[in-house]
Amino acid sequence: MANSSSSVEAIKNELLTANQLQKPGESSSFVIFGASGDLTKRKLIPALYNLACTDLLPRGFKVFGFAVTPMNDDSFRESMREGVRASKEANPYDVRIWDEFAKNLHYITADFQSLDGYKQLKDRLEESEKGSTAGDNRLFYLATPPGFYADIVSRLGSSGLVTKHGTSQTGWTRIIIEKPFGNDLDSAIALNTSIHKVFREEQIYRIDHYLGKETVQNLMAFRFANSIIEPIWNRRYVDHVQITAAETLGVEHRGGYYEGAGVLRDMFQNHLLQLLSIVAMDPPVRYGGTSVRDRKADVMNAIVPINPESLSDIAVRGQYGPGQIEDHHVPGYRQEIGVNPESKTETFAALKLYVDNWRWADVPFYLRSGKRLPSKVSEIVIQFKRVPHMFFHMSPEDQIEPNLIVIRIQPDEGISLRFGAKVPGPEMHIQQVQMNFSYTDAFKAQPSTAYETLLLDAMEGDPTLFNRADAVETAWQVIEPLLDIWKATKPFQPFPNYAAGTWGPSAADTLLAKDGRAWHNLHSVPVAQAQTSISLDESGEPMGSRRSQNDAVSTTGTTTPSGGRSLA
């Protein structure tokens, strides 16, 4: 018994400390293909700078940019400095830290398909590694358009830049690959096949930045390190699950890419299905790459295949038209640069899925994502079943609503619980109140960015938060029937079918209304006013979280005009 108890405590400790960033034990050379692009300047270098600010980069760590844009070491460093200073995610600019960090930034001007560039890269890496006690540890990052992935990997192999088995007596080699990983199932399988000719699966880190977010990682700690949560995380108590990734932005300068992708490829195949797998997975044996990824794969394999005959009951697509975002007029999708004026590409989708296993049978998972929606928010909502018998004398003042756990992924990372409490006074009236946990308030620090976490994990050789080949292919299997159907048929409702600044087409509301449910669209309590204990003022509202008199929480968790009730 003592050994069993110790084992459980060890697993809990692993989960609780899993997202604490650790300094890699070995140094490495970090090679970025596509280093002149937007991703490097906005995300990768700011993340590495943040790690330098907190002394989490190993001594001797070097970055080599590789791209066709003409630059030298000095101009590359200046370009990256501008990126860090402009970044909202980077730590405050410190000239001393930057100068120390920047001296390890280097650049190679070369075409991705030219062998001369790879020879130059090899020469510079070997020169840099001379006399190093860390060995020739190399981490390659593909921050290029997906069409270059196979060519770059092939040339890395033919140029002798990859150790044969991923590790050697003198060092290791790993590669990080950005999404999208393929455009459909066949292309994903073909890409995996070509990469496996050069890299073993253990060397391949398919990155999904959503999995590096603090709240996503803490979802596992919330579930598996708290004995009061896991027993109710199943079909007996949960009515349904909602996963939302909403953006206020349009396609911006990505119109050409988005025309060939759409929201299903851009968000569902990776981000949303990954979140679903973490919400629904069974407890892993331990916190580690194989165990966690095995349990996630079990969920993906248990998703009930999409039935084309019942498509209208499980899927909705939409495309935004002109509208208002934060009092500014914005164009419709078809007016964006690089977009076909008669485009049928979806910018919004909602999907109802089921996970066919003992834990989740008959519990619907509602997924939605879209552009030009009213709020930028990513969250997971767990709605529990209603109480089986209500013995209170109900009046119009009472709000008897299902309990909710809302896990906010971004912005304002945190977790909230909605439950009913008695309003102060001589009579029994029920008011819904919120108990909120904010990571920023609780830990007095901003969470690390997703790329900080994921880059450190790759340096350490921890694949837990990265996608495995089988998971990528299974995700494509889930959505490919829907892609095929939507490609072959015209939209039932002509596009555009929702105005920018709204929560998508009306059919998305109908999708849940047919099941007697509704989307959770707004936080009931601002996170800035979050509390870890509940106090009620004289009106029955939680103190410090008074809503506008024009707002009242509906019976389904959405916000409706004062006095109104959702019919769903």
One DSSP character per residue, 152-175 reads: HHHHHHHTT-S-TTSEETTEEEEE
What pLDDT is stored for residue 541 in this prediction? 36
Which CATH code is given to the segment(s) 18-206? 3.40.50.720
The gap from C-alpha 9 to its chain's centroid, in whole angstroms, comes to 29
Instruction: Express each pLDDT in 257-296 by its tens digit.
Output: 898 889 999 999 989 999 999 999 999 887 776 888 999 9
Q: Is the per-residue pLDDT at 533 higher than 50?
A: no
State how far the Cα of 316 lies from the Cα of 503, in Å rounded to an integer. 13
The residue-averaged pLDDT of 72-88 equals 93
Instruction: Record the tokens describing residue 238, joined without a space.
Output: 């949960």
Domain ranges of the chain: 18-206, 212-561
Percent of the chain clearing pLDDT 90 (strictly above): 52
Backbone angles phi, psi at 33, to 5 degrees: -85, 125
State how far the Cα of 192 lies from the Cα of 251, in Å rounded to an integer. 28
Per-residue pLDDT band at 17 (split at 50, 70, 90)? very low
Q: Is 240 an annotated catalytic residue?
A: no
Per-residue pLDDT band at 164 (split at 50, 70, 90)? low
Instruction: Express each pLDDT in 50-68 by its tens digit.
Output: 999 988 988 889 999 999 9
State how far the Cα of 426 lies from the Cα of 429, in Å rounded to an integer. 9
The residue-averaged pLDDT of 11-16 equals 44
Residues 6+ apart with CB under 8 A from 525: 416, 434, 436, 542, 545, 547
R_g of the chain computed on alpha carbons? 25
Nearest to 215 by CA among 405, 84, 42, 53: 405
Quick check: do 18-206 and 212-561 share a fold? Answer: no
What pLDDT is stored for residue 412 in this prediction? 82
Q: Is the per-residue pLDDT at 504 higher than 80?
A: yes
Q: Is the per-residue pLDDT at 468 higher than 80?
A: yes
Residues 6+ apart with CB under 8 A from 294: 284
Provide the 3-class DSSP secondary structure of residue 145: coil
Say which CATH topology domain 212-561 has.
Dihydrodipicolinate Reductase; domain 2 (3.30.360)
Q: Where are the beta strands (DSSP E) in 69-182?
A: 105-109, 138-142, 167-168, 171-177
Q: How many CB atoms lie within 10 A of CB 294?
A: 17
Average pLDDT, whole number, for the chain? Answer: 83
Instruction: Express each pLDDT in 204-217 by its tens digit.
Output: 999 988 888 888 88
Instruction: Express each pLDDT in 435-467 by its tens digit.
Output: 888 888 887 777 788 899 999 999 998 998 899
Lowest mean pLDDT among 76-80, 363-367, 484-488: 484-488
State how far the Cα of 23 lies from the Cα of 327, in Å rounded to an integer. 45
What pLDDT is stored for residue 441 in this prediction? 84
What pLDDT is stored for residue 395 in this prediction? 67
Contact status, residue 181 vs residue 467, Cβ threshold 8 Å: yes
Q: Is the per-residue pLDDT at 358 higher than 70?
A: yes
State how far the Cα of 220 lies from the Cα of 295, in Å rounded to an integer. 12
Q: Per the residue annotation, which of 106, 209, 271, 520 is the catalytic one?
A: 271
Instruction: Record the tokens describing residue 324, joined without a space.
Output: 């208002």
Q: What is the number of helices (H) and of strands (E) in the chain?
A: 18, 21
**Which of 442 and 73 is assigned the larger pLDDT?**
73
Contact status, residue 380 vs residue 279, Cβ threshold 8 Å: yes
Three-point CA angle 273, 275, 281, nearest 5°: 95
Backbone angles phi, psi at 111, to 5 degrees: -80, 140
What b-and-e string marks burial along 541-563, b requiring 16 or more CB atoms within 10 Å of the CB?
bbeebeeeeeebbbbbbbbbeee
Longest dimension (CA), the chain: 84
Instruction: Express each pLDDT in 22-41 by its tens digit.
Output: 556 577 899 999 999 989 99
Burial class (CB in 10 A: 0-12, 13-18, 19+), 120: middle
State how far the Cα of 138 lies from the Cα of 561, in Å rounded to an integer. 57
What pLDDT is stored for residue 559 in this prediction? 33
Per-residue pLDDT band at 12 (split at 50, 70, 90)? very low
- Residues constituting the chain: 568
Instruction: Record the tokens describing residue 30, joined without a space.
Output: 């970090």
